[in-house]
Amino acid sequence: MQIKLTSVLVDDQAKALAFYTEVLGFVKKNDVPMGDHRWLTVVSPTGHADVELLLEPVGFEPAKVYQKALFKAGIPLAAFAVAHVKKEYTRLRKLNVKFPVKPTQMGPTTVATLEDTCGNLIQIFEG
């Protein structure tokens, strides 16, 4: 069993694509029209090309409630590994990314939490 696809709920796919590619540095892999939405995936330029992140429109009402509840509670929807949290924090802050949780040592790793502009908190960690 392998992870090939996972998703983040987004309130606007175009805004999400811009943020995840232009700010976070992912690369668009698939962009297939599907009615009102798109099958829109990104991949890491340095990771496995077959592990995709789906920028999934949050059109299902219970999903909207879930997304808002996680955000309000300060709980990240996803976590991404980076080589150096403090360096990535500095780079992203220069791009005006908001960080509700600044780099924090947690046991053997350092974490930080950012807002993805699409309704989610995303944690970055050294991994």
Are 29 and 127 in contact by the 8 Å Cβ rule? The answer is: no
pTM as predicted = 0.94
Cα dihedral 58, 62, 5, 73 sign = positive
Does pLDDT of 127 surpass 80? no
Give the chain's domains with CATH numbers: 5-126 (3.10.180.10)
User: How confident is the model over 74-125, as pLDDT tens digits?
Assistant: 999 999 999 999 999 999 999 999 999 999 999 999 999 999 999 999 999 9
CA distances (Å), 69 to each of 56, 77, 122, in order? 17, 11, 14
